[in-house]
Structure 1
Amino acid sequence: MLNHFVDLVLTLTMLGLVCLVGTVGNLLVIGVYLKQYFFPQKHRFRRKYAKSLPDTNGALCLESLNDKSTKGVTEDDCTFMRTTGTPTFFILVLACVDLLVCCFVVPLTFYMEYVEMKPPNDVWCKIHAFVCVCNTMFSALLVIAIALDRYLAICHPLHSMLTMKRAKILTTALAIFCIIYGFLGIGTIQLAPDSSNPTEMVCTDTGDLLNTTQAQKYFYLIVQKGNTASFVMAILFVLILYSLILKVVIKAHRRMRKLHEQSTFPRRQSNNLGQFTNVDDAIDSSYMTEDLVSSAEPKPARLRMRFSIRGLRESGLWREMRSASVLFVVAVVYIIVFTPSLLTANKMVSFTLIGYNSFFLNNMSNPLIYCFMSRAFRAKLATLFSGLCIHERATSEDELFGQTTRKRPRLTIQTITNVQNGSPI
């Protein structure tokens, strides 16, 4: 068991790191996707510029929007519309919630742990309980909604069940439910005398108080078990839905491998026939002609196979799989960091402050996951930084030219004044 002082220092260090890294990371995530939403032309130009590089064999090639055909612009617009679908919406919701938690909830928790849950009045206890209950409940329900969205998009792609409008309605309904549930959590804590030092008041759960009614204890158990049930439901939904997604991916991979084997088998057979004809010199030339025809037959099948693989990689199913893999890692990290808090809150393990507050690591981890797993996010982040650098450089140049243009009239006015006064120049 950790020493109380060491446990407190580790907890405060973790909360400070979460507040700093989480705020910066989630601001970058929001900035990346908001810039893509409000300024899609810059991302469109960057995508076209990146696509033109492999065709030039290392030569520098810049292309403007007017130089491209209408078909290319249409395809690029469709790409932009796909990037602002439900996965991007849920990523923005996660980033906004994590930013609010890192900016307000984590500093409040830092203060409460620093004063050892002994605030000056009962309001601090109520506010802390409200935001923590809302955060834990909404995080669990949002993980379930994301898993459901990925399942419907991959396993049932022909049925657009969870559209953007329905996703917004679902998220709003979940937020309202969590706010109401957070108000219920206010009644589960109050300021009471400390058991070790009765002269000091400490925030205490109503289930641990001796002078509470049976109804208050049952109410506390209902709210606590509700949080536990939401976490267990999130685990079950993640395991079941992502298992079904993995099953669909495995079936698609087997189907593609089977088609690949069927397309390459005639080619191997024709090559064997060609080797046999080279050994036997007595074969008639008509058979040689048939062998050449047979060796040329598999080429259309081979071309069709290449087209199907490329079509799969550029199709919506492939993009949904890539987004599902990133969001699956987000769900797994959520389960890992929430498990110690769940076990500590239900008194299944010995109580430690760092174990009880470990769920705040979830609010810091999502931007790091996007950076490590999503190459597209790294490219968008580079576009954001390059745009900021260009804007800063342009602003500094404007200030420089502005100062230069302001100095010239002053010199002219001073010169005219000196001439009128008869002073030497």
Structure 2
Amino acid sequence: MDNLSSTTVETTEINTSTGIDKDVIVQKLNDEMAHLMLPATIYIAVLMVFGLVGNSMVCYYYGFKTRRTTNSFFIVVLAIYDITVCAFCMPTEIADIELFYTFENNIACKILRFVNYLAGIGSILTLIAIATDRFKKICKATAPQLTLKTTKIISLVVFGTALLLSWPSIAIYGSIQVNIPNDIGIELRGSDCTSTKDRQYRKYVWAFNIVHFLMFIICSIVLIVLYSIIGRTIYHHQKSMQKYRCKSKTTSTLNETSFTTSSFNVESKANDGVIQSEKADRSPAGRKSHAGVNQLESSDHNVEKQRKSKTKDVDRETVNIDRETIKLTLIMIIVTVVFIISFLPYLSLTVWRVYNGKHEAEFLSGGGLVGFKIGSRSFLLNNTLNPWIYGIFNTKFRQFFFGWIRFTKSG
């Protein structure tokens, strides 16, 4: 790390006997660090803008413009978690980076970390609820399905669980006094929004982070297993429907060929035996036989009509699964994958920092420190990307979004 530039050293090279204004030095070091952290600041600012716009549109569209279903309700819940992070946590994260050594607002820090954990835990548990809903709809279609009332109860339980698992962050995080490395040989202390470095609380910090890391691993495994089963079921369903269509086409072709051959034979014989046929028709036995033939033809017609009706119903059901269920499931799979990928660096780096037991500026410098600050906030990607995933894969939402943009520009 470029601890203290030569200019700073020169301007603060004062005899220790006369005293040194440490606050001035700390402020100068903080300004230099804020300049170094400019890429991280821009990164969060961009995520904040896109996240606020996208999640606001998701809340409005799925909350008021679409039919209320269990899935649309869960999507709105996810968007509320995301928009909370974008509106409150991201600006505070920017302040935390800019005030690298001078973040002294203890309450704001505690609320920031608490809301981050609350939103993260609430989101992953909501994703499990969505995966369960998808599983029941695709793999257990004949079983009782989730209702809107049940969905609301599940969301409240998820929120309560997230609260229970997040509140320790209020005790662990705060505006903590940290050592500031420097080249002028004096002890400098600054304030940063981070977890406590006090040795007597170290075991609690470890327990808190291990619990959350294990929870993340377990929830990720549950999501992967559920969507693997769902994907396998969809694959076999599609394969069966393709075989059914091929079989239906073959059967239809054979029936048409048989019908044509039969009609040709009947027509040939009718020309040779028209008189005998007329005489037979006048007799009681002939009339009975003729009625039987009519009845048989009527029965064949009904069977063929039912077969065509069933074929249409199956095709209609297949189209519905293709366009709605499968597409919606694909969207939620991508959302889940993005969540897992975005949270993994954050959790790993957090555990690594706890393992070191020091402030990151004491064992990292320059680009490595910038990378750490960005990586330790990788979870913010999840809060921003979700609405854009819906937009890419949901045609109606995309049309609504760009229609809103055109309306705003014209207005």
Provide the C-alpha distance between the structure 1 equivalents of 2:181 and 2:409, rounded to a whole number of angstroms: 57
Please show how residues 219-258 of structure 1 align to structure 2 within 5 Å.
219-258=204-243
| Distance verdict in 2 for CA 1:203–1:181, change over 3 Å | farther
Corresponding position: 1:218 with 2:203: yes
| Distance verdict in 2 for CA 1:10–1:160, change over 3 Å | farther
Post-superposition offset of 1:388: 7.6
Provide the C-alpha distance between the structure 1 equivalents of 2:245 and 2:141, rounded to a whole number of angstroms: 24
Question: What is aligned with 1:412?
Answer: none
Asked if the contact 1:129–1:189 (Cα under 8 Å) also holds between the matched residues in 2, the reply is yes
**Deviates most, 164-173 or 12-21:** 164-173
Identical amino acids, percent of aligned pairs: 23
Q: 1:285 corresponds to which letter in structure 2?
A: S
Provide the C-alpha distance between the structure 1 equivalents of 2:36 and 2:379, rounded to a whole number of angstroms: 16
| Distance verdict in 2 for CA 1:200–1:273, change over 3 Å | same
Post-superposition offset of 1:166: 1.7
Question: What is aligned with 1:124?
Answer: 108
Corresponding position: 1:202 with 2:191: yes
Give a deviation string over 1:200-226, Cα, whole Å, max 9, x none. 23337556x3x422xx22211121112
Asked if the contact 1:147–1:237 (Cα under 8 Å) also holds between the matched residues in 2, the reply is no
Corresponding position: 1:84 with 2:84: no
Provide the C-alpha distance between the structure 1 equivalents of 2:337 and 2:149, rounded to a whole number of angstroms: 27
Q: Structure 1 residue aligned with 2:58, among 18, 29, 54?
A: 29
Question: What is aligned with 1:171?
Answer: 155
Asked if the contact 2:139–2:230 (Cα under 8 Å) also holds between the matched residues in 1, the reply is yes
**Deviates most, 162-171 or 360-369:** 162-171
Q: Structure 1 residue aligned with 2:87, among 81, 103, 106?
A: 103
| Distance verdict in 2 for CA 1:248–1:7, change over 3 Å | farther
Asked if the contact 1:7–1:352 (Cα under 8 Å) also holds between the matched residues in 2, the reply is no
Give a deviation string over 1:63-102, Cα, whole Å, max 9, x none. xxxxxxxxxxxxxxxxx7xx31111001111111111111
Q: 1:365 corresponds to which letter in structure 2?
A: L
Post-superposition offset of 1:302: 5.3
Provide the C-alpha distance between the structure 2 equivalents of 1:300 and 1:177, rounded to a whole number of angstroms: 52
Please show how residues 50-199 of structure 1 align to structure 2 within 5 Å.
83-116=67-100, 118-190=102-174, 191-194=176-179, 196=181, 198-199=187-188
Question: What is aligned with 2:341?
Answer: 336
Post-superposition offset of 1:360: 0.2
Question: What is aligned with 2:384?
Answer: 364
Q: What TM-score comes out, normalization by structure 1 length? A: 0.68
Give a deviation string over 1:354-394, Cα, whole Å, max 9, x none. 1111110111111111111011323444676788899x7xx
Question: What is aligned with 1:306?
Answer: 312
Asked if the contact 1:140–1:230 (Cα under 8 Å) also holds between the matched residues in 2, the reply is no
CA root-mean-square deviation: 3.8
Provide the C-alpha distance between the structure 1 equivalents of 2:194 and 2:387, rounded to a whole number of angstroms: 34
**Deviates most, 108-117 or 259-268:** 259-268
Provide the C-alpha distance between the structure 2 equivalents of 1:286 and 1:243, rounded to a whole number of angstroms: 61
How many aligned positions are there?
334
Asked if the contact 1:228–1:342 (Cα under 8 Å) also holds between the matched residues in 2, the reply is yes
Give a deviation string over 1:225-266, Cα, whole Å, max 9, x none. 122122212321221001111122122112212221221223
Asked if the contact 1:189–1:203 (Cα under 8 Å) also holds between the matched residues in 2, the reply is no
Q: 1:305 corresponds to which letter in structure 2?
A: T
Q: 1:26 corresponds to which letter in structure 2?
A: N
| Distance verdict in 2 for CA 1:387–1:192, change over 3 Å | closer
Runs of 5+ consecutive residues of structure 2 not aligned to the other structure:
4-32, 271-296, 356-367
**Secondary structure in 1 aligned to 2:51?**
helix
**Secondary structure in 2 aligned to 1:11?**
helix
Post-superposition offset of 1:177: 2.3
Give a deviation string over 1:17-41, Cα, whole Å, max 9, x none. 11111101111112223332xxxxx
Provide the C-alpha distance between the structure 2 equivalents of 1:93 and 1:366, rounded to a whole number of angstroms: 12
Q: Structure 1 residue aligned with 2:329, among 324, 327, 338?
A: 324
Q: What TM-score comes out, normalization by structure 2 length? A: 0.70
Question: What is aligned with 2:358?
Answer: none
**Secondary structure in 2 aligned to 1:14?**
helix
Asked if the contact 1:117–1:202 (Cα under 8 Å) also holds between the matched residues in 2, the reply is yes
Give a deviation string over 1:274-319, Cα, whole Å, max 9, x none. 9999xxx9999359xxxxx9xx99786456423311133247x963
Q: Structure 2 residue aligned with 1:260, among 226, 242, 245?
A: 245
Provide the C-alpha distance between the structure 2 equivalents of 1:27 and 1:380, rounded to a whole number of angstroms: 13
| Distance verdict in 2 for CA 1:153–1:271, change over 3 Å | closer
